[in-house]
Amino acid sequence: MSLSEFTLIDRFFSACGTPRADCALGVGDDAALLRVPADRELAVTQDTLVQGVHFFAGSAPQPLGHKALAVNLSDLAAMGAEPAWATLALTLPAAGPAWLAAFAAGFCTLARDSGVQLVGGDTTRGPLALSVTALGLVPHGQALRRSGARPGDLIYVSGTLGDAGLALLRLGQDREAELSDELRARLERPTPRLALGQALRGLASAAIDVSDGLAADLGHILECSGVGAELRLADLPLSPAITAHLAQGGDRLLPLSAGDDYELCFTLPPGHRADLEALVPRLACPITCIGRIGTRPGLRVLGPDGRTLPLARGGYDHFATAG
């Protein structure tokens, strides 16, 4: 017996996340009605996870619910926006209450912890896919864009790089591979760097989240800003798992090319360095300076010997990789 569409939505998602006074009308009408404060801009992003492309068939539903929202909140973090509301389009082949309950638990727990109220969306039968629209608020003119990097700016990244990529590599080789809890969490339960993004308003000159790999995502900043950059491979922040992987002969470019880390990469005018360092004690994640913006176009990565490493055209591209 299957539950009706409306019953499903009501049952698992009607009171999802943080109830907000600025939501005049939530789930249950033709559209939600929201109140944006006069001094705020609305930040809007929509990202979709598709089975077989972004996650394996049979993936556990609770982390999936978390990740579907997290990847969108990560985009808001990269704008310096405070998350407020979300809608969820859930396409799934069967309406199993157990699956839905676990998925909703993952989604709604992150929503609650992030101050987000789920305000709408739809549920459809079809191949498993999760499309979330996240809406956030940012003071007028203070959003972090990709286009503001200037020659001389320092380049930073939060957390560590390559962990999600290493987890994906191992699971791709063997779906039953034993992963440490930490490594699995980095792939399945990414942490959107919301506090960092908001703290960078007025400090960073540009920002992006690392979803397609550092080289590709920093590449977007360079292109949008009309600048180039030089990184030092030895300065990339690595977890013990990645350090061990590289020591065993793993691809040393993994931390540059692997996607799904959802760290923030940002640029900082050198004059803001002291202000940034003053922030560090109250950030939930480390930040590391990895290089500098220059005028010469393109991205150069210097190896331990000081020579430029040859980089493949980087980044994760669904069509290019599968085409």
Kindly write out the interface string for residues 9-38 of this chain, putting x where it contacts a second copy by CB under 8 A and - elsewhere.
---------------xx--xxxxxxxxx-x
Kindly write out the interface string for residues 60-79 of this chain, putting x where it contacts a second copy by CB under 8 A and - elsewhere.
---------------xx-xx
Residues 260-289 interacting with a second copy (rule: CB under 8 A): none
Taking the C-alpha atoms of residue 22 and residue 109, their distance in angstroms, rounded to an integer, is: 20
189 three-state secondary structure: coil
**Does the protein bind a second copy through residue 320 (CB under 8 A)?**
yes
Stretch that binds a second copy, among 103-111, 181-189, 203-211, 254-262 (CB under 8 A): 203-211
Minimal distance, residue 167 CB to a second copy, in Å: 21
Residues 224-243 interacting with a second copy (rule: CB under 8 A): 224
115 three-state secondary structure: coil
Taking the C-alpha atoms of residue 313 and residue 307, their distance in angstroms, rounded to an integer, is: 18
Q: Which residues contact 178 (CB under 8 A, 6 or more apart)?
A: none
Interface pick for a second copy out of 5, 113, 182, 277 (rule CB under 8 A): 5
| Cβ-based nearer residue to a second copy, 31 or 247 | 31
Minimal distance, residue 69 CB to a second copy, in Å: 14
Minimal distance, residue 303 CB to a second copy, in Å: 27
Interface pick for a second copy out of 19, 52, 240, 270 (rule CB under 8 A): 52
**Which of these, 280, 284, 269, lies nearest to 203 by C-alpha position?**
269
Taking the C-alpha atoms of residue 246 and residue 252, their distance in angstroms, rounded to an integer, is: 6
Provide the token pair at 238: 């690595």
Provide the token pair at 70: 């997290």
Taking the C-alpha atoms of residue 305 and residue 313, their distance in angstroms, rounded to an integer, is: 22
| Cβ-based nearer residue to a second copy, 248 or 321 | 321
**Does the protein bind a second copy through residue 203 (CB under 8 A)?**
no
**Which of these, 260, 261, 264, lies nearest to 53 by C-alpha position?**
260
Interface pick for a second copy out of 15, 53, 177, 234 (rule CB under 8 A): 53
Residues 206-225 interacting with a second copy (rule: CB under 8 A): 207-209, 224
**Does the protein bind a second copy through residue 193 (CB under 8 A)?**
no
Stretch that binds a second copy, among 58-66, 125-133, 156-164, 167-175 (CB under 8 A): 125-133
**Does the protein bind a second copy through residue 58 (CB under 8 A)?**
no
Q: Which residues contact 29 (CB under 8 A, 6 or more apart)?
A: none
**Does the protein bind a second copy through residue 307 (CB under 8 A)?**
no
Stretch that binds a second copy, among 185-193, 202-210, 236-244, 277-285 (CB under 8 A): 202-210
- Work out the angle at residue 110's Cα, subtended by the Cα atoms of residues 57 and 81, and round it to the nearest 5 degrees: 115
**Which of these, 261, 73, 129, lies nearest to 183 by C-alpha position?**
261
Stretch that binds a second copy, among 113-121, 168-176, 181-189, 296-304 (CB under 8 A): 113-121
Taking the C-alpha atoms of residue 83 and residue 134, their distance in angstroms, rounded to an integer, is: 7
**Which of these, 113, 109, 78, 88, lies nearest to 8 by C-alpha position?**
88
Taking the C-alpha atoms of residue 249 and residue 127, their distance in angstroms, rounded to an integer, is: 38
Interface pick for a second copy out of 16, 69, 102, 129 (rule CB under 8 A): 129
